[in-house]
């Protein structure tokens, strides 16, 4: 086990001007489960591949356990990786696939088979040891890929969107399994996903990337409650946070004609700002901002009400969360009231968070 | 409580008579066409087989069916000409050339397909140019080179070039290697493989159809090759291969057609057996390259 450090790590692909990963500074503690999350092209997979040694680091450094591994080949970094498409060798059995890293390390056949059986038992795959990958389901293949990663007892696990090829139900189950396995083994893990639900449920900490730059790193709750900028605010949370361009005067904003007092932290703010409101920060009530319901999405106990309202003379789409049993009907006219204590404020130009 | 009902047997619907008639006629037309084509392709082979079992007089007559059937023709081929020697030479040429070609082409194709290095595109371009170069252009300078090395008259001038890669094989393998998902190679790298080991343990296994196709193409080409063995070993019958021996068979024995056909059949036999054994790989290879076999 070991800690991982990116120090100003940069990757610039030939033929491009914009770095895929731009001066990344990130520290992953020993035994920590760090999730790299971001939209397509944010540089999260490239950052992971730089750590694995599969991409060259053009500037800066990558350290594992305090050792500079920037110029070491993958096999000398003591890392194991799980790939999006599992990368199981189709011509090998489950047992041989799991034991492949040991074979490369020159471990004797009997010992390889013993360890592969032990790992398979741990993953509940002992019945499938003689099967080929083509005879397994997606979830079983995923387990074999995990087995191949853990058999060598590496310092760091790297996982590149390992659940994205599974169906929704299996994904939830495998998510729990991965979390339990990481907890049991206590191995430092860097996990890449574009699925924020995965990021929020799995990660001890989550690093949000966009256009190759680290936007924010912190615990899932911190990212949700205190997004550091407009991008993180919009990216974390589903449905996304409502972001409205409003004017701030003496610590209060005008929200479609409604005056919303925003606590002491932004009392002195003034001028154009972006007001961020999570769906649960908007209440459907009898008074407030008038809006018309466009769509209602019901999720068992809760419902999300997608509506449109006039804010600053512009048609703005807003989403509010409400109890499913009291959800308005499509086309109905409703009133939205802001919970000021749950409002976020961002600079209109820089997008940075204003206030505490 | 829910009522349990017995499963109802499915009564399959019969298409209308007009549809059935149309399908039947279409099947008859398709099969007739394919049977006619098969007969057209098989006819020369059957002619060779029947002639090889005739006496020489019968072979020159209009009779098509051998009477009596003369199996001893096949024995005579071996006694009246150094057939074993030619067969051994052919095997030496085909096997050594094929092994060398596969061993040299696979790493080159991998380097062109999967490794990032300066000059890769230019190198691939050179391979493409070599692929387009007509063999007649290089024959004379190559002959001079082998003559200076005192190897003309032996089989080495036809075997050794294959040990330095073959443009067509490199091109074919490169195209196949490009289709191998990068994750397999990345997984092997992380799991402790160097590039040579990746080629030996992962790529060769994943690219088995392509490698089999290349080996098969090479074996068939060298087995049937007439021009190069004639050029380099024409003056030395001790190193003749089967194709060369076969062409000389008539002049050696005053056109004994029955023996000539028996020898032809013996030369064809290994190729036919090999094709049926490796039919799948061969067809996959043809599909892979879009070239005719």
Q: How confident is the model at residue A58, as a pLDDT?
A: 95
Segment holding A294, helix H or strand E: strand A289-299
Q: Is the pLDDT of residue A328 over 50?
A: yes
Segment holding B258, helix H or strand E: helix B257-277
| Set of chain A residues whose Cβ sits within 8 Å of the Cβ of B187 | 81, 83, 87, 148
Nearest CB among A81, A84, A89 relative to B190 is that of A81
Distances (CA, A) of B283 to B35, B171, B177, B217: 21, 18, 18, 11
CA gap A99, A105 in Å, rounded: 10
Q: Which of the residue ranges A125-139, A156-170, B277-291 would you say has the lowest mean pLDDT?
A: B277-291
- ipTM at complex level: 0.86
Strongest mean pLDDT among A25-34, A309-318, A329-338, B62-71: A25-34
Q: Is the pLDDT of residue B2 over 60?
A: no
Residue of B116, B184, B191 to mutate when probing chain A, most A C-beta within 10 A:
B191
Q: Nearest to residue A50, comparing CAs of A160, A143, A164? A: A160
Q: Which of the residue ranges A28-32, A253-257, B175-179, B211-215 would you say has the lowest mean pLDDT?
A: A253-257
Search chain B and give the residue with CA nearest A79. B190
Centre a 10 Å sphere on the Cβ of residue B27 and count the other Cβ atoms it contains: 10
pLDDT band at B4 (very low <50, low <70, confident <90, very high): low
**Is the CB of B190 less than 8 angstroms away from the CB of A80?**
yes
**Is the CB of B193 less than 8 angstroms away from the CB of A53?**
no
- For A82-105, what is the mean pLDDT? 93
| Set of chain B residues whose Cβ sits within 8 Å of the Cβ of A53 | 189-190
Q: What's the mean pLDDT when you consider all of chain B?
A: 88
**Is the CB of B194 less than 8 angstroms away from the CB of A87?**
no
| Set of chain B residues whose Cβ sits within 8 Å of the Cβ of A148 | 187, 191
At A156, give phi and psi (nearest 5°). Answer: -140, 135
**Is the CB of B197 less than 8 angstroms away from the CB of A104?**
yes
Q: How confident is the model at residue A193, as a pLDDT?
A: 95
Q: Which residues of A touch B (CB under 8 A)?
A: 49, 52-54, 73-75, 79-81, 83-85, 87, 89-91, 100-101, 104-105, 148, 152, 158
Segment holding B36, helix H or strand E: helix B17-52
Q: How confident is the model at residue B140, as a pLDDT?
A: 92
Give the predicted TM-score (pTM) of the model. 0.81
Residue of A89, A159, A192 to mutate when probing chain B, most B C-beta within 10 A:
A89
B186 close contact with A: CB closer than 8 A: yes
B114 close contact with A: CB closer than 8 A: no
Residue of B188, B190, B195, B212 to mutate when probing chain A, most A C-beta within 10 A:
B190
Q: What's the mean pLDDT when you consider all of chain A?
A: 91
**Is the CB of A87 less than 8 angstroms away from the CB of B183?**
yes
Nearest chain A Cα distance for residue B209, angstroms:
13
CA gap A320, A132 in Å, rounded: 49
- For A78-85, what is the mean pLDDT? 93
Q: Which of the residue ranges B202-211, B254-263, B274-283 would you say has the lowest mean pLDDT?
A: B274-283
pLDDT band at B293 (very low <50, low <70, confident <90, very high): very low
Q: Is the pLDDT of residue B292 over 50?
A: no
For A68-87, the three-class secondary structure string (H helix, E strand, C coil) is ECCCCCHHHCCEEEECCCCC
| Set of chain B residues whose Cβ sits within 8 Å of the Cβ of A89 | 184, 202, 205-206
Q: How confident is the model at residue A262, as a pLDDT?
A: 76
Q: How confident is the model at residue B290, as a pLDDT?
A: 42
Search chain A and give the residue with CA nearest B180. A87
Domains within chain A, CATH numbers bracketed = 4-230 (3.40.50.300), 239-347 (2.40.50.140)
* Better-scored residue on pLDDT, A264 or B132: B132
Nearest chain B Cα distance for residue A5, angstroms:
19
**Is the CB of A54 less than 8 angstroms away from the CB of B187?**
no
**Is the CB of B186 less than 8 angstroms away from the CB of A83?**
yes
* Better-scored residue on pLDDT, B278 or A51: A51
CA gap A300, B257 in Å, rounded: 89
Burial of A232 per CB tally in 10 Å (0-12, 13-18, 19+): buried
Search chain A and give the residue with CA nearest B197. A104
Max Cα separation, chain A? Answer: 76
> For residue range A274-293, what is the model confidence (pLDDT) as tens digits?
999 999 999 998 888 999 99
Collapsing DSSP to helix, strand or coil, A66 comes out as coil
Q: How confident is the model at residue B83, as a pLDDT?
A: 86
Nearest chain A Cα distance for residue B206, angstroms:
8
Q: How confident is the model at residue B5, as a pLDDT?
A: 65
Q: Is the pLDDT of residue A152 over 80?
A: yes
Q: How confident is the model at residue B1, as a pLDDT?
A: 46
Q: Is the pLDDT of residue A315 over 50?
A: yes
**Number of inter-chain CB pairs under 8 A, A vs B:** 57
Q: How confident is the model at residue A269, as a pLDDT?
A: 62
Residue of A78, A88, A90, A100 to mutate when probing chain B, most B C-beta within 10 A:
A100
């Amino acid at each position: 086990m070991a800690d991982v450090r990116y120090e100003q790590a940069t990757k610039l692909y030939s033929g491009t001007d914009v770095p895929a990963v731009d001066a990344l500074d990130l520290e992953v503690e020993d035994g920590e489960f760090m999730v790299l999350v971001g939209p397509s092209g944010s540089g999260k997979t490239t950052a992971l591949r730089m750590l694995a040694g599969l991409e060259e680091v053009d500037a800066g450094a990558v350290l594992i356990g305090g050792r500079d591994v920037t110029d070491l080949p993958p096999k000398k970094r003591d890392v194991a990786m799980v790939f999006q498409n599992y990368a199981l060798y189709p011509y090998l059995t489950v047992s041989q696939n799991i034991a492949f890293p040991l074979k490369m390390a020159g471990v004797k056949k009997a010992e390889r088979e013993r360890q592969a059986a032990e790992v398979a038992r741990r993953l509940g795959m002992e019945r499938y040891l003689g099967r080929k990958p083509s005879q397994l389901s997606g979830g079983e293949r995923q387990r074999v890929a995990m087995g191949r990663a853990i058999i060598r007892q590496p310092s760091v696990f790297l996982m590149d969107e390992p659940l994205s090829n599974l169906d929704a139900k299996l994904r939830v189950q495998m998510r729990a399994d991965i979390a339990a396995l990481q907890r049991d083994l206590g191995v430092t893990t860097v996990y890449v996903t574009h699925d924020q639900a995965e990021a929020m449920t799995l990660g001890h900490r989550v690093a949000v990337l966009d256009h190759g730059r680290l936007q924010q790193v912190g615990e899932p709750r911190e990212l949700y409650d205190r997004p550091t900028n407009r991008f993180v605010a919009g990216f974390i949370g589903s449905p996304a946070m409502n972001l409205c361009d409003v004017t701030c005067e003496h610590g209060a904003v005008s929200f479609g004609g409604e005056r919303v007092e925003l606590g002491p932290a932004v009392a002195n703010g003034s001028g154009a700002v972006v007001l961020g409101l999570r769906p649960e920060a908007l209440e459907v009530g009898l008074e407030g901002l008038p809006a018309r319901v466009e769509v209602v999405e019901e999720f068992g106990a809760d419902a999300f009400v997608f509506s449109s309202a006039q804010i600053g003379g512009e048609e703005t789409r807003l989403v509010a969360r409400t109890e499913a049993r009291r959800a308005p009907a499509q086309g109905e006219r409703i009133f939205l009231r802001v919970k000021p204590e749950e409002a976020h404020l961002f600079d209109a130009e820089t997008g940075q968070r204003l206030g505490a | 409580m829910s009522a349990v009902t017995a499963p109802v047997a499915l009564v399959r619907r019969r298409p209308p008579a007009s549809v059935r008639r149309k399908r039947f006629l279409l099947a008859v037309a398709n099969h007739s066409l394919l049977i006619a084509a098969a007969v057209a392709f098989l006819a020369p082979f059957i002619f060779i087989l029947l002639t090889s079992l005739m006496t020489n007089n019968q072979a020159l007559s209009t009779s098509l069916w051998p009477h009596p059937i003369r199996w001893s023709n096949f024995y005579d081929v071996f006694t009246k000409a150094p057939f074993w020697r030619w067969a051994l030479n052919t095997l030496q040429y085909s096997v050594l050339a094929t092994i060398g070609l596969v061993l040299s082409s696979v790493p080159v194709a991998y380097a062109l397909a999967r490794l990032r290095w300066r000059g890769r595109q230019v190198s691939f371009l050179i391979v493409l140019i070599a692929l387009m170069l007509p063999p007649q252009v290089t024959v004379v300078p190559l002959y001079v080179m082998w003559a200076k090395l005192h190897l003309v008259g032996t089989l080495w001038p036809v075997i050794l070039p294959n040990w330095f890669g073959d443009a067509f094989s490199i091109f074919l393998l490169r195209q196949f290697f490009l289709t191998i998902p990068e994750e397999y190679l990345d997984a092997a790298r992380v799991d402790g493989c160097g590039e040579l080991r990746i080629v030996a343990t992962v790529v060769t296994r994943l690219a088995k159809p392509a490698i089999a196709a290349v080996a098969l193409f090479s074996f068939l080409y060298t087995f049937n090759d007439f021009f190069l063995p004639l050029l380099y070993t024409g003056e030395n019958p001790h190193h003749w291969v089967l194709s060369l021996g076969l062409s000389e068979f008539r002049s050696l024995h005053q056109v004994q057609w029955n023996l000539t056909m028996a020898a032809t059949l013996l030369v064809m036999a290994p190729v036919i057996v090999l094709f049926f054994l490796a039919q799948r790989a061969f067809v996959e290879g043809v599909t892979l390259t879009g070239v005719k076999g």
